[in-house]
Amino acid sequence: MSKPIRVLHVVVNMNRGGAETLLMNLYRNIDRSKIQFDFLTCKEGVFDQEIKELGGTIHRIPYINEVGHFGYINALNNFFSTHNDYTIVHSHLNRMSGLVVRAAKKFGIRYCISHSHNTGGEGGALAKAYKWYSGLFIPSYSDYTFACSEAAAKWLFGKKANAAKLLNNGIEPEMFTYSPDIRKTKRIELGINDQIVFGHVGRFTKQKNHKFLIEVFAEFVKRKPNSILLLCGDGVLRNDIEKRVGELNIRDKVKFLGVRSDINQLLQAFDLFLFPSLHEGLPVTLIEAQAAGVPCIISDEITDEVDLGLGLMKFLNLSSIDLWAAELEKMTVGKIQRHTSKLKMLRDRGYDIKNTATWLQDFYLTNSR
C-alpha cells in the first residue's frame, strides 16, 4: 500500500484559534491513510500532542518577532532547503504567507496554497506595513488561493479574489446538538442558577473588541442585574479586560473561563452569544453557536456570509453601547427561546466538516499526482 501524501500546513502555533480549530477538524476527518498533515510552527500549541497521536510531525522555526526579518527569511530558507520533499505547502498566515510561499517555491515545492482566514490585520502601522510588503509575494508564488469567505478573499487577494477557492469553516454538527441535560449540568458546574447567561468565545486581542463587550454588559446589568457573562479564551489583553471589569464593579458577574476544550458543551449554557468583533474572516465559533441553536448578536463588521439562515443572527453597528444594551434588553424579555438544532440546514449550507474534508482530500490528491 502506498504511503499517504504529506501536506505541510504553516501556522504560528496550533492553539484554539479559528483557523487552527478548522485545521484540526479537517485533520480528524480526512482519510489519514491517503493524506497526512504535518505542521511548520513557531511556538508550542495545545493541539501538538493530538497532532503527534494522529501521525503528524511538528517542525519549529523561530517567528519574525524573535529573530527579525532576515532571521525569519533565513529560517524559512533553511527549512525548505532541507524539507523540499513536500509536494504541497498550505500556509495559513494571511499576508505573511507571502514570505512562506516565496521560500517554498525557491526550493522546488510544486504546489503552494495561501489561505485567507480574516478581513483585517493586527498590530500597529509598522507591523501592518510589513505584512502588506509580505503579502505582495502571494500572487507570484501561490499556485492556489483559498479563503473562508468572499470577504476574506477580497481582503487578501484583492482583484484576484474571484480565483480563490472557498473552503467552508466546517464543524462536526452532532457535537453541538442542543441538549437540556448538558445545559443543566454545565450551568450547575459554573454555579449559575436562573441568571441570564451571555457568552463569548475568542482570543483577548484588539480584533475581538472585548472592551466594547464589557461596556455593553455593564450597561445591561444596570437594567437587569440578574445576569452573568462568560468569557472563554486567553490572550495579551486579558489582564486589561480583567482590570476594566473591576473598574466597572461587575467582577461578580463576569467569569473568565480561560482556554476550554468543552466549547460544544459551554454553548449549551449560553442564552445569548455576543460577538462585537472589529473584523473577521468567517468565525468558526459562530457556525458552532448556530449549530447549538444559540441566538447571536454580532457586529455588522462581520460578513453576512456567516448567517446560515437559521434565524439566529442579529447584526448591530458598533457605534453605540446603548444600541447593544437595548437590543439585549429586548431579546431577554420573557423566556429566551432555545432553538432545537437545525443540523440538516447546516449540512445543506455546506458546513459539515466531513464534506469539507472530502473536498479538500480530493483536491490534495488531484494536485499531488
Tell me the average pLDDT of the chain: 93
Q: Coil, strand, or helix at residue 319? A: coil
Residue 347: the pLDDT is 86
pLDDT above 70 covers a percentage of the chain that reads 97
User: What phi and psi, each to the nearest 5 degrees, are found at residue 233?
Assistant: 135, 180
CA distance 270 to 200: 9
Tell me the pLDDT band of 1, cut-offs 50, 70 and 90.
low
Residue 340: the pLDDT is 63
Average pLDDT for residues 68-88, to the nearest whole number?
96
204-254, pLDDT tens digit by residue?
999 999 999 999 999 999 999 999 999 999 999 999 999 999 999 999 999
Mind listing the domains of the chain with CATH numbers?
A: 5-170+352-366 (3.40.50.2000), 173-348 (3.40.50.2000)
180-189, pLDDT tens digit by residue?
999 999 999 9
Grid look-up 482590570 returns 243
Residue 246: the pLDDT is 97
Tell me the pLDDT band of 202, cut-offs 50, 70 and 90.
very high
Average pLDDT for residues 315-332, to the nearest whole number?
95
Residue 338: the pLDDT is 66
CA angle 202, 160, 42 (to 5 degrees): 40
pTM: predicted TM-score of the whole model, two decimal places: 0.89
Other C-beta atoms within 10 Å of 216: how many?
26
What residues have CB less than 8 Å from 287, skipping those under 6 apart?
169, 170, 171, 306, 308, 346, 351
What is the side-by-side strand order in the sheet with 254-258? 254-258, 227-232, 196-201, 272-275, 296-299, 313-316
Q: At residue 339, does pLDDT exceed 80?
A: no
Q: Of 77-81, 139-143, 198-202, 337-341, where does mean pLDDT reach its minimum?
A: 337-341
Tell me the pLDDT band of 301, cut-offs 50, 70 and 90.
very high
Can you list the alpha helix ranges (DSSP code H) found in the chain? 18-29, 48-53, 64-82, 97-106, 125-135, 138-141, 150-157, 180-189, 210-223, 238-247, 263-269, 284-291, 321-331, 343-348, 353-366
Q: At residue 162, does pLDDT exceed 70?
A: yes
Average pLDDT for residues 51-56, to the nearest whole number?
97
Whether 120 and 155 have beta carbons less than 8 Å apart is answered as yes
Tell me the pLDDT band of 318, cut-offs 50, 70 and 90.
very high
